[in-house]
Structure 1
Amino acid sequence: MLRSSHAVVAMLVAALPTSALAAAPAATAQSFKGEYTVSFLGLSVAKAKFSSHYQGDSYFIDGTVSSAGIATLFDDTSGTISSKGKILGQQMQPQAFRADYKSGKKASVVDIRFANGAVTATQVIPEPKKRNPKTWIPLGGNDLTSVLDPMAATVIHADSLDKVCGRKVKFYDGEMRADLTLTYASKGSISVKGYKGDTVTCKMSFEPVAGYRKGRKALNYLKNKSQMMVTFAPLGQTGVYAPIHATVGTQIGTLTVSAGRFEAVE
């Protein structure tokens, strides 16, 4: 599921569950849990559960993602995702990201390693097929510096809800580099297990940079026509804001990601 729905799942199923990610530096360990449902046209198609642990300036996240409902009839996919790194000031700095998943009988792995904010190694199994140089936009020398993995790409450090939107994030999923730009849309409130309170919604735009095929209809739609909205909520008093709800328009309908649980745990 992660690679087969490359842009949508990388941005939403992998990135959004970082609501369980991290808090401000503390001497004692802090833990968070997030549970999400992905639905399409009102039908559940995937579920994700994540646990995260944070101590000092280090974080570690692990989780599971699986097909659900009617989607299991067409694409029975399940997998595990993990990410670790540090928070330096208000900057996420990943060290490692790994996704192991199985779709039907096909097993796949995406493993990304980082150092000082830059990608140092990427392993994708099975290895991608040879690309057509006439249509493929290759990664350039500076494309993999100051980038975030799918787990850290949408976690925001801000002084308040008013300052969550209005930023650009460099995103890398093991093949494609893209920019995600957040602009303010509205304020609201939400109530789920573990959180009841104020939220802010940002409109998210998607701009592929490299590591993709020109003319790909799904990416062109995401870039030029898709309506993508992400709603953020605070993790306690930590100064960290994370997605609690999102929608993304695709060529065949709207995908919705909703948190059923968004809370700190002992």
Structure 2
Amino acid sequence: MRLIASALATLAFAGTASFAQGQTLKVTYDLSLAGLPLGKADLISSFKGKKYEMKGNAKLTGLAMLLTGGKGEASAAGTLAEAKPRSTSFEVVSKASENQRSVRMGLKGGRVAEVEIDPPLEPKEDRIPVKAADKRGVVDPMSALLMPALASKSLTDPDNCNRTIPVFDGASRMDVVLTYAETKNVEVTGYSGPVLVCNARYVPVSGHRPERPATKFMQENRDMAVWLAPVEGPRLLFPLKVSVRTMIGMGEMQASLWSLEGDGKASTRTRRAVRADEAIKAGTLQ
């Protein structure tokens, strides 16, 4: 489940608009699994010049909450580079029933400088060792959601889909490989316009256990996708929706509310709430 949760976290975010200095993007996601509602996630991203800060929290509701008590909080910070974000810090705390685990990570120049996991992962003989080289040129799972557009292309150019995101979550190194599928128009609260629909692939590099059924499933998974919406100011793309097929059904993070605030004023752009599912036929994502 940690593998699936990491993949979801790596591929999820939403929003689009023109950014000025000192603006904040707030997004609420509906979480579901196999068509059943699981809970909600709230994500806040603040931008000032090239610097960014991200904070998020998720909480399961209903039966899922009663069975697992699951909830989590995460944060990240860094600067925006031309090719990809340059993380400086990342922290996540996840709670399920009576168990809790925290991960804190510091990065410098795209290199992991320090990692603290509490409690530590149990040593496993079949776990692929993480090499020093695997911790260079990476981004944390939250910062990976910020996708700078190609300098020579428009924000909605299909080539913006085609990228490989090198992610390190504190314990494992993976690549998320995106490829263009199609362009669609969507309407959700706070945004109406085109999105790039990108197919996604999970490619483990190290820190994983290759013989685990969940690892093999995700490696062979061809039912994953992310929908990216354009952000004019910093020329970024954000996922509007993430879909990942798990071993027990399709998992989705669907933006239901979006707002942009800047210079002390709330965004005046509001629209009737319409789920993207109503505007877009189901894409490919796991």
TM-score w.r.t. structure 2 length? Answer: 0.84
Give 1:206's match in structure 2, choosing from 198, 202, 206.
202
Match in the other structure for 1:30 = 23
Give the 3-state SS of the residue equivalent to 1:161 in structure 2: coil
Hey, what's the Cα distance between the residues in 2 that align with 1:183 and 1:40? 24
Matched positions, count: 257
Residue matched to 1:150: 141
1:1-266 pair list within 5 angstroms? 5-13=1-9, 15-17=11-13, 19=14, 28-132=21-125, 135-158=126-149, 159-162=154-157, 163-266=159-262
Percent identical across equivalent pairs? 26
User: Aligned in 2, Cα 1:236/1:195: closer, same or farther, shift over 3 Å?
Assistant: farther
Q: Which amino acid aligns with 1:117?
A: G
Contact 2:45 2:55 in 1 (8 A): yes
1:23–1:90: structure 2 CA closer, same or farther, 3 Å change rule? farther
Q: CA deviation at 1:219?
A: 1.4
Cα distance in 2 for partners of 1:261, 1:156 equals: 20
Structure-1 separation of matches of 2:248 and 2:52 = 37
**Which moves more between the two structures, 98-107 or 211-220?**
98-107
Instruction: State the 1:237 CA deviation.
Output: 4.3
SS of alignment partner, residue 53 of structure 1: strand
Shift of 1:105: 2.1
Displacement after TM superposition at 1:160 (Å): 2.0
User: Relative to total residues, which structure has the larger strand share, 1 or 2?
Assistant: 1
In structure 2, what is the Cα distance between the partners aligned to 1:237 and 1:198? 16
1:171-228 superposed Cα distances (whole Å, 9 cap, x missing partner): 1111111111101111101111110111110000111000011201111111113410
* Residue deviations 1:203-261 (CA, integer Å, cap 9, x gap): 00111000011201111111113410111111244311110112111222111110012
- Answer whether contact 1:44 1:70 (CA < 8 A) is retained: no
Other structure's SS at 1:212 match? coil
Distance 1:176 1:208 in 2: 8
Structure 1 gaps, min length 5: none
Q: Distance in 1 between matches of 2:85 and 2:258?
A: 20
How far did residue 70 of structure 1 move?
2.5
C-alpha RMSD over aligned residues: 1.9
CA–CA distance in 1 between the matches of 2:225 and 2:236?
Answer: 19
Deviations 1:108-141 (A, max 9, x none): 2111110011101111111111221xx2200012
Higher relative contact order (CA 8 A, sep 6+): 2
* C-alpha distance 22-86 of structure 1, shift in aligned 2 (>3 A): farther
Residue 20 to residue 201, structure 1, CA distance change in 2 (3 Å): closer
Q: 1:196 to 1:21 in 2, by over 3 A?
A: closer
Q: Deviations over 1:53-78 (max 9, x none)?
A: 11121111112111123211321112
Contact map agreement 2:9 2:142 (CA 8 A) in 1: no
Give the TM-score taking structure 1 as reference length: 0.90
**Does the 8 Å contact 2:58/2:72 carry over to 1?**
yes
Which deviations, in whole Å up to 9, do the C-alpha atoms of 1:127-166 show, x marking residues without a partner? 111221xx22000121011111110113211132223211
CA separation in 1, counterparts of 2:37 and 2:56? 18
Q: Are the aligned partners of 1:15 and 1:152 in contact in 2 as well (CA < 8 Å)?
A: no
